């Protein structure tokens, strides 16, 4: 089996897009409550602040469940694990749609987040396994395309639908979408065996593998910077007179991110290190530009487009680097990535909030610049492991699940 699993010379688009749809559902499920807080608070008879905790407990579920669930399912057949995550979305989104009790709703959201944590640790490795090593980066780019689509189109559409037909119906529609996805996965996604006991690598050993900690440190710095700005984009663009056009600013970001994923797919297998350096350097330059001229609407729009372009491929680049560094421990390493990524989202919201209250939005670009430069320094330093020079090595890229 091992000799056959990485021999596909063309991208299996049907299977990869099923993985992308899984990521799309993860993101929409996570963020949908944010756009429907008034309706949810009214429906559950709680305050908007308490309704907002639906997002918090989802992230908490991902953080707490990603590593233990990934380790617990290492020996399972891969498609069974994928279907488990999708069935989790079906079940817990259906409970969310029908629940009239706030406590039950929070429990459902927690376990929906746990499903997402397992899904995110699985998708990248699954995409890599479907194709030959020299196509793994491109395969991951396709599998990750659901995220920017969800952020740029899915969330606004879900918010609009929720306002039109009710928040419960919006969650019900996500459940209906997961039913379609289950059939899609069964028909199109190939199955692979899990790891044998002798193949499995412990959590500590994976963390100590050369390159793994370097990649995770870049994930933390880059995503912390990104989420400080993304979470508080509304107050950030207000001085430029765009306080009522936040949706348009985010659309520009999302469309640019889609283009960034396409560019990353063309570059990741041959120029991974250069692509990461270029993306972080571009983000640092945009941070500097924002620091100097954030009061200009034109600068905000142009800067946001370039920011989205540099960010779009980040998940593909970083997860490819992490899986390459971890080798046989890729799934465990990718579950660590879920924890670090979600921690950066939470820390970005917390840090940005403190900065906004204590200093003001004008300090944001300078904090982003420091974090981007820290990420650049780590990438430069990890030239042997983590972000090595040259084309990705096919031998190191094979992931055994």
Do the beta carbons of residue 29 and residue 93 sit within 8 Å? yes
Last residue of a domain, one of 188, 212, 246: 188
What's the pTM value of the predicted model, to 2 decimals? 0.81
CA 99 to the chain's CA centroid: 28
Give the model confidence (pLDDT) of 55-105 as tens digits.
888 988 998 998 999 889 988 999 999 999 999 999 999 999 999 999 999
**27-36, 219-228, 231-240: which has the minimum mean pLDDT?**
27-36
* Residue 264 is assigned to a structural domain of this protein: yes
At 8, the pLDDT band (50, 70, 90 cuts) reads: low
Burial level of 3, CB count in 10 A (0-12/13-18/19+)? exposed
Which pLDDT belongs to residue 393? 59
Is the pLDDT at 399 greater than 60? The verdict is no
**What are the pLDDT digits (tens) for 239-278?**
999 888 887 888 898 889 889 988 988 888 889 999 999 9
In a domain, 251, yes or no: yes
Same-domain pairing of 218 and 127: no
Q: Are residues 355 and 214 in the same domain?
A: yes
Residue 143 tokens read as 């599998």
Establish if 7 belongs to a structural domain.
no
Q: What angle do CA 169, 244, 41 make, to 5 degrees?
A: 35
If asked whether residues 298 and 366 sit together in one domain, one would say yes
Place of tokens 């396409």: 262
- Which of the four pLDDT bands, split at 50, 70 and 90, describes residue 396? very low
* Residue whose structure tokens are 């021999």: 7
pLDDT per residue over 131-179, tens digit each? Answer: 888 888 888 889 988 887 887 777 677 778 877 888 999 999 999 999 9
- 93 lies in a domain? yes
Residue from 59, 356, 62, 58 nearest 229 by CA: 356
- Classified as helix, coil or strand, 388 is coil
Quote the number of domains for the chain: 2
- Any domain includes 197: no
Pair 157, 235 in one domain: no
CATH assignment at residue 183: 1.20.1250.20
Nearest to 372 by CA among 314, 305, 298, 333: 314
Question: How high is the pLDDT of residue 232?
Answer: 85
d(C-alpha 33, C-alpha 208), whole Å: 38
Choice between 23 and 10, residue whose per-residue pLDDT is larger: 23
Q: Which residues contact 247 (CB under 8 A, 6 or more apart)?
A: 156
Domain carrying residue 260: 203-392
């Amino acid at each position: 089996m091992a000799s056959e699993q990485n021999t596909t010379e063309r991208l299996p688009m049907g299977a990869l897009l099923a993985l992308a749809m899984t990521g799309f559902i993860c993101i929409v499920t996570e963020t949908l409550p944010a756009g429907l807080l008034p309706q949810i608070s009214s429906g559950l008879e709680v305050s908007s602040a308490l309704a907002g905790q639906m997002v918090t407990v989802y992230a908490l579920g991902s953080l707490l469940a990603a590593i233990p669930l990934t380790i617990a399912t290492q020996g399972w057949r891969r498609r069974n694990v994928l279907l488990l995550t999708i069935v989790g979305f079906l079940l817990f989104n259906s409970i969310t749609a029908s629940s009239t009790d706030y406590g039950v709703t929070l429990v459902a959201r927690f376990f929906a987040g746990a499903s997402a944590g397992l899904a995110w640790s699985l998708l990248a490795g699954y995409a890599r396994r479907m194709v030959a090593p020299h196509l793994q980066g491109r395969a991951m780019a396709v599998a990750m395309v659901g995220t920017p689509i969800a952020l740029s189109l899915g969330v606004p559409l879900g918010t609009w639908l929720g306002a039109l037909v009710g928040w419960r119906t919006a969650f019900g529609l996500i459940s209906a979408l997961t039913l379609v996805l289950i059939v899609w996965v069964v028909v199109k996604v190939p199955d692979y065996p899990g790891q044998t006991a002798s193949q499995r690598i412990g959590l500590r050993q994976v963390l100590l593998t050369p390159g793994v900690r370097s990649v995770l440190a870049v994930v933390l710095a880059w995503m912390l910077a990104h989420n400080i700005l993304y979470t508080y984009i509304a107050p950030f663009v207000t001085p430029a007179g765009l306080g009522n056009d936040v949706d348009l600013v985010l659309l520009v970001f999302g469309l640019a991110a889609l283009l960034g994923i396409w560019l990353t797919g063309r570059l990741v297998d041959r120029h991974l290190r250069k692509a990461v350096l270029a993306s972080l350097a571009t983000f640092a330059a945009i941070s500097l530009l924002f620091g100097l001229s954030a009061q200009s609407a034109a600068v905000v729009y142009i800067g946001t487009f370039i920011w989205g372009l540099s960010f779009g491929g980040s998940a593909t680049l970083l997860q490819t680097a992490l899986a390459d560094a971890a080798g046989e421990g890729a799934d465990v390493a990718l579950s660590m990535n879920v924890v670090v990524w979600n921690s950066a989202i939470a820390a970005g919201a917390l840090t940005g909030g403190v900065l906004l209250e204590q200093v003001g939005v004008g300090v944001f670009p300078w904090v982003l610049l420091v974090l981007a430069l820290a990420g650049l320094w780590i990438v430069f330093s990890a030239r042997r492991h983590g972000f090595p020079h040259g084309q990705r090595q096919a031998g190191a890229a094979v992931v055994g699940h």
